[in-house]
Amino acid sequence: MLKNRQEFLSYKEKVEKAYEMQQRKIIVCCGTGCVAGGSLDVYAKLKELMEVNGINVEVTLEDEPHSNNVGLKKSGCHGFCEMGPLVRIEPHGWLYTKVHVEDCEEIVEKTIKNGEFIDRLAYRINGEIYKEQEEIPFYKRQKRIVLDFCGKIDADSIAEYIAVGGYTAAVKAMFDMNGEQIVDEVKKSGIRGRGGAGFPTGIKWDTVRKTESDKKYVVCNGDEGDPGAFMDRSIMEGAPHRVLEGMLIAGIACGADEGYIYVRAEYPLAVTRLKNAIKQAEELGVLGENILGSGYSFRIHINKGAGAFVCGEETALINSIEGQRGFPRVRPPLTVIKGLFGKPTVPNNVETYANIPNIINNGGEWYSSIGTPNSPGTKAFALTGNINNTGLIEVPMGTTLREIIFDIGGGMKNGGEFKAVQIGGPSGACLTKEHLDLPLDFDNLKKVGAMVGSGGLVVVDEHTCMVEFARFFMHFTQNESCGKCVPCREGTKRMLQILERIVAGEGRDGDIELLLELADTICNTALCGLGKTAPNPVVSTIKNFRSEYEAHIYDKKCPAGACSKLKTIEIDPELCKGCSKCARQCPVNAISGKIKEPFKIDLSKCIKCGSCISACPFKAIKEG
């Protein structure tokens, strides 16, 4: 255990030298996505083959350092999930994509032994090979600050984290700054909460710092429940010590001696790595009692949530930590005044805390120079949907949707046409072609009725029905409503019923107006922020795609051809040869006719299963 600042600096110098001596490094992505694709087997096979070939393998910096050794790392998410499992080769910065166990022998023989690049494992666009990770368009147009260590260091090693500068910000805050100075630096940075609402972090911290109390708490919200969102999960998996360090600095600034991380139980890898990180930090002496002899103590606990979306709302989360049901609380009093166990509490999400060490080390002005004046810094987004390059990205605030979707995301999959993107999850809204050049920041999104949210971006093409899209999000929100307040509990249920009728072809005149009326009531009367924003996807799709709603209601047609109950199957009499194959395949005997004459479909019997379409050898049967 390190007993003082000098011992920390000596340890830092030691692991820095060991890290630098590992001139050659093989970094295997072991984030959840790549693990699901078999990256742990790739790691094990590489280790086995290197040992068999007499190559000195270092898996930790505590091993005896030697310049000929090869460092083999299990890193967090590299971000380029579409191309996983990923392997990065240092010092070249090469990236191998879609690596499988059978590729390991070639990697050892050609790359590790002889320094050769393997073209077939490279990422390529239109035949052009990209060797270096930073030159791949997906990465080149990003600015990775929070995600910088994800994919570059061993996610389970406190030694590597310190070797690349970890915990130096906490030591600086502990020994060279007081609470007021720390908070002032955070205020100068202009950082706003990355969990959704975008409230200025410095104001939160300052309020807790100034509030008199015998006990204060720091709470980290890792309850990431938005469909398609995995930013916080990847940060906790890939850089757990950075989250702990941010919380530690918050504790120093505000006078708290205890912190809680609330993580979804569905994130087992994040939980495991956070637990390991806390254990390592306590054993080394940078967490726990009398940290580095400073007289300051800070402990961090992990609470696993049961997957309730409402527990992403800070007061419901606090109730859950306390052992109560995850219901939101009426405010005031505010959490910063009366939060966890009735004491002043700093509540921020994972990404916010992960930004803090860089702000303390580099200064608030450095951070505020990135992004836009009112929304400084970067934002991590999870890019999913009908897009070529899905994955985890980080860009400066103010980056446009066009840059994210077409430059970083590589455009629409299978040559589709961009239709919309849902931003901010179930609490957000959909943006369309007219918003492609809108700079994404808190204020611009608010002006168009959307929000950054936690950072999920779900991109859809022309084959997506926007009414069904809204129904999906409303179904999610209604299922996740905690039921405490009537507007959310009953209002979302009623909205869902209307949407389900519309996509089933049973929409009625006045449904659109009723949806908007219900949405307005819920937004203005629901208890918590999640309830107030629940109707957003419906309101935004009506605003931008009203004609689709009208087509469903009045024409009984789905313009995108996606709603099965509104599909029509017809036989083209010009193409039908009367072979009867369609009739023989129909499970409900809805097709009739005479041989060598055009057959017909009884639409009242047709269940739209599509069996006839696949059976017709003349492509005479079409879906409309």
**Which stretches within 255-295 are classed as H helix?**
268-284
What pLDDT score does 74 carry?
Answer: 94
Sort strands 70-75 and 57-58 into parallel, antiparallel or unpaired.
Answer: parallel
**Helix, strand, coil tally for the chain in percent (to 5):** 45, 15, 40
Q: Is the distance from CB of 298 to CB of 251 less than 8 angstroms?
A: yes
8 Å CB contact between 188 and 205: no
**∠ at Cα 540 (534, 542), nearest 5°?**
110
The three-state secondary structure class of 307 is: coil
The pLDDT value given to residue 67: 61
Query: Measuring CA to CA, how many Å separate 246 from each of 121, 575, 601?
Result: 37, 68, 65
Check residue 57 and give its pLDDT: 82
Q: Contact 270/243 with Cβ under 8 angstroms?
A: no
Residue with tokens 């600015």: 143
Helix H segments across 439-579? Answer: 442-447, 466-480, 486-503, 511-525, 529-533, 536-550
**Residue 396, pLDDT score:** 96
Q: Which residues pair with 27 in a beta bridge?
A: 73, 88
3-state class (DSSP) for residue 390:
coil
Q: How far is CA 289 from CA 161, 298, 300, in A?
A: 21, 7, 11
| Predicted TM-score of the model (pTM) | 0.90
What is the Cα–Cα distance from 559 to 545, expressed in whole angstroms? 11
Q: The tokens 């505590």 sit on which residue?
A: 62
Q: What is the pLDDT of residues 275-299, one digit of tens each?
A: 999 999 999 999 999 999 999 999 9
From the CB of residue 479, how many other CB atoms can be counted at a distance below 10 Å? 11
What pLDDT sits at residue 312? Answer: 86
As a whole number, the mean pLDDT across the chain is: 93
Instruction: Domains for the chain: give ranges and CATH numbers.
Output: 18-136 (3.40.30.10), 166-369 (3.40.50.11540), 372-461 (3.10.20.600), 466-555 (1.20.1440.230), 568-623 (3.30.70.20)
pLDDT on residue 70: 87
What is the H or E stretch that residue 259 is in?
strand 258-264
Can you spell out the DSSP letters for 561-623? Answer: S--GGG--EEE-TTT-----HHHHH-TT--EE--TTS--EE-TTT-----HHHHH-TT--EEE
Tell me the two tokens of residue 68: 């000929």
**Cα–Cα distance, 432 to 435 (Å, whole number):** 5
Residue 301 pairs in a beta bridge with: 260
Pick out the chain residues at pLDDT < 50. Answer: none
Burial of 376 (0-12, 13-18, 19+ CB in 10 A): buried
Instruction: Show Cβ contacts of residue 299 under 8 Å, excluding neighbours closer than 6 positions.
Output: 257, 258, 259, 282, 287, 288
Q: What confidence score (pLDDT) does residue 384 get?
A: 92
Distance of CA 75 to the CA centre of its chain: 17
